[in-house]
């Protein structure tokens, strides 16, 4: 295990902080030492503003791997022009504390120049699964995601990497990347963690006013409705999507897409016959939120 340091938090109690490294070569050396001593290494990539969703990935990693490495990196290449890269929350101390409390052994927190040198010229394009929905609404987003995930996997040389179902399409893009490029890592996708009222946890929820947060509940509600309809025997995807869209619009949301897709390929479903994923993206005020539910 990596060495950790102790400090005190606002209430004066001792907090175990994981060892944190900023440079790729430091991470490589640490991972090489873990592996040389026969330990398995798990990786939990995050952009920080840590919440219980991120921590569920940490828990899953700790149950399977000897060493848990989390990353904190707000990846500029996955944000489009006009998106929230500059304002994305970066509560570094709280993140390190949260990771420490949950038993993360090592945090990799490079700055932008460490991951993208000024002469960086190589990007990864995943095809098919990345094209619709998030790929269409956020051009270049998955190119940035695939590039940073490949770079993190290369530097961390983990046995297993953990991602959330919250970003369902992203999880398929990453599985495709790993399979197509023969990467020697296993991918785990962990269930969505929700607040008690049903809203999927997201670092972007801090942008919501009280009123917007109530409106945002229409996302999980619309997914629950889709499941109810399917359970009741509805098979026509257009009928289900229409009901979901109406529910979101009634709550005052700006709907970006409402989709029912095949769970493995992200292709749109016309008639629900097998395992289906319902996905929604909508803006609540200025904040763009996504959510999904696996049905059947």
Rounded CA-CA distance 205/213 in Å is 8
Residues near 13 by beta carbon (within 8 Å), at least 6 away in sequence: none
Rounded CA-CA distance 27/77 in Å is 22
Rule CB under 6 A: choose which of 21, 31, 42, 56 binds ligand AMP: 56
**Binding-site string for ligand AMP from residue 233 to residue 272, where x marks contact by CB under 6 A and - marks none:** ----------------------------------------
Query: With contact defined as beta carbons under 8 Å apart, do 151 and 77 qualify?
Result: no
Closest separation in Å from C-beta 56 to ligand AMP: 5
| Number of residues counted as binding ligand AMP (CB under 6 A) | 17
Containing 263, the helix (H) or strand (E) segment is none
Task: Determine the interface stretch with ligand AMP among 11-19, 82-90, 161-169, 231-239 (rule: CB under 6 A).
Answer: 161-169
Rounded CA-CA distance 218/268 in Å is 22
Rule CB under 6 A: choose which of 95, 97, 105, 167 binds ligand AMP: 167
Q: Which residues are identified as catalytic?
A: 54
Nearer to ligand AMP, 107 or 240 (CB): 107
Rounded CA-CA distance 27/156 in Å is 7
| DSSP string for 191-210 | PPPB-TTSPBP-GGGGG--H
Nearer to ligand AMP, 46 or 77 (CB): 46
Beta strand pairing call for 19-21 and 14-17: unpaired
Site for ligand AMP in 187-206 (CB under 6 A): 190, 192-193, 200-203
- Does 164 sit near ligand AMP (CB under 6 A)? yes
**Positions that interact with ligand AMP (CB under 6 A):** 46-47, 53-54, 56-57, 163-164, 166-167, 190, 192-193, 200-203
């Amino acid at each position: 295990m990596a060495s950790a340091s102790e400090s005190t938090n606002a209430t004066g109690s001792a907090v175990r902080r994981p060892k944190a490294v900023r440079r790729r070569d430091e991470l490589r050396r640490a991972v090489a030492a873990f592996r040389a001593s026969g330990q398995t290494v798990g990786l939990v990539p995050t952009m920080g503003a840590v919440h219980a969703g991120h921590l569920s990935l940490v828990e899953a990693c700790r149950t399977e791997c000897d060493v848990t490495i989390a990353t904190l990196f707000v990846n500029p290449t996955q944000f489009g022009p006009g998106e929230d890269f500059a304002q994305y929350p970066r509560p570094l101390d709280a993140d390190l504390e949260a990771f420490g409390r949950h038993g993360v052994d090592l945090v990799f927190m490079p700055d932008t120049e460490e991951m993208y040198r000024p002469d960086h010229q190589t990007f990864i394009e995943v095809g098919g699964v990345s094209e619709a929905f998030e790929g269409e609404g956020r051009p270049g987003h998955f190119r940035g995601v695939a590039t940073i995930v490949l770079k993190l996997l290369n530097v961390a040389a983990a046995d297993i990497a953990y991602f959330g179902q919250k970003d369902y399409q992203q999880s398929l893009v990453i599985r495709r990347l790993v399979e197509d490029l023969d990467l020697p890592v296993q991918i785990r996708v962990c269930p969505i963690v929700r607040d008690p009222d049903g809203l999927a946890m997201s670092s972007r929820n801090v942008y919501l006013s009280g009123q917007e947060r109530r409106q945002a509940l229409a996302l999980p509600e619309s997914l629950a409705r889709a499941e109810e309809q399917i359970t009741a025997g509805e098979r026509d995807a257009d009928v289900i999507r229409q009901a979901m869209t109406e529910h979101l619009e009634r709550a005052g949301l700006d709907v970006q897409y409402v989709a029912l897709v095949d769970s493995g390929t992200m292709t749109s479903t016309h008639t629900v016959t097998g395992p289906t994923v319902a996905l929604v993206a909508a803006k609540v005020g200025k904040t763009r939120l996504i959510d999904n539910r696996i049905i059947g």
